[in-house]
């Protein structure tokens, strides 16, 4: 993988909040590349050593160990770069599902510059119930076993509150923006773009200035 600085925006929020949907949409905007950690784990062969290890944790609604997660992140990112899908000198990563722990933040900070954090946040109990419903529906549509059992889903929310929510405190408040995830995908995307479009412009201007 290139030694160039990795610039990223982080799509952050509870399970089922829409990080993947917004990441895919943002990845269609020139200059952004969507990176889903969940997709990276699901792409592993279920018979491989790493695939079996990851499945042990995800099947229980728990986080895959930090070092394993970061190792896979860099390996997959290197593959995207070698295929020309990701160009660190021009593209901003839309990170989805990573970092999920304070330790992952520390490990990523060695090579990743986070330009903005989009916090997709539901604040009411009713909203959390809607997220659980979303996950159950997604399990049926996408044949995702990790979302099929309600006990596993509820465990994922417990892990999120205990291990992932504290991640927000590791970023400067001025780069964190809270975005309402309830609405149509297009409505939510408009709110996300309102946050990340200025960030992309600033990054492009900085690159142009340094190249002049």
Window from 106-115, 122-131, 157-166, 169-178 with minimum mean pLDDT: 122-131
pLDDT digits (tens, 9 = 90+) for 55-98: 888 888 888 999 999 999 999 999 999 999 999 999 999 999 99
pTM of the predicted model as reported, rounded to 2 decimal places = 0.85
Beta bridge partners of 36: 96
Look at 6 and 133; give whichever has higher pLDDT.
Answer: 6
How many of the other CB atoms lie within 10 Å of CB of 168? 17
Q: What are phi and psi of 70, to 5 degrees?
A: -65, -40
Q: How far apart are CA 195 and CA 44, in angstroms?
A: 33
Q: How many angstroms separate the most distant Cα atoms in the chain? A: 56
- Tell the CATH topology of 6-211: Rossmann fold (3.40.50)
Domain boundaries, the chain: 6-211
Q: Which helix (H) or strand (E) holds 107?
A: helix 102-108
């Amino acid at each position: 993988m290139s030694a160039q600085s990795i610039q990223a925006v982080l799509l952050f929020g509870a399970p089922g909040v829409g990080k993947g949907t917004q990441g895919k949409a943002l990845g269609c905007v020139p200059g952004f590349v969507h990176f889903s950690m969940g997709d990276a784990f699901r792409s592993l062969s279920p018979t491989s050593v790493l695939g079996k290890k990851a499945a042990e944790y995800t099947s229980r609604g728990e986080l895959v160990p930090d070092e394993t997660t970061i190792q896979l992140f860099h390996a997959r990112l290197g593959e995207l770069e070698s295929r020309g899908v990701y160009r660190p000198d021009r593209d901003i990563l839309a990170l989805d599902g990573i970092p999920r722990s304070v330790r992952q933040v520390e490990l990523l900070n060695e090579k990743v510059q986070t330009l903005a954090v989009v916090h997709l946040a539901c604040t009411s109990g009713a909203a959390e119930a809607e997220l659980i419903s979303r996950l159950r529906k997604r399990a049926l549509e996408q044949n995702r076993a990790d979302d099929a059992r309600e006990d596993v889903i509820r465990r994922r929310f417990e892990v999120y509150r205990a291990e992932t929510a504290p991640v927000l405190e590791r970023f400067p408040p001025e780069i964190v923006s809270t975005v309402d995830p309830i609405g149509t995908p297009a409505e939510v995307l408009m709110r996300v773009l309102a946050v990340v479009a200025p960030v992309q412009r600033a990054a492009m201007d900085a690159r142009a200035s340094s190249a002049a």
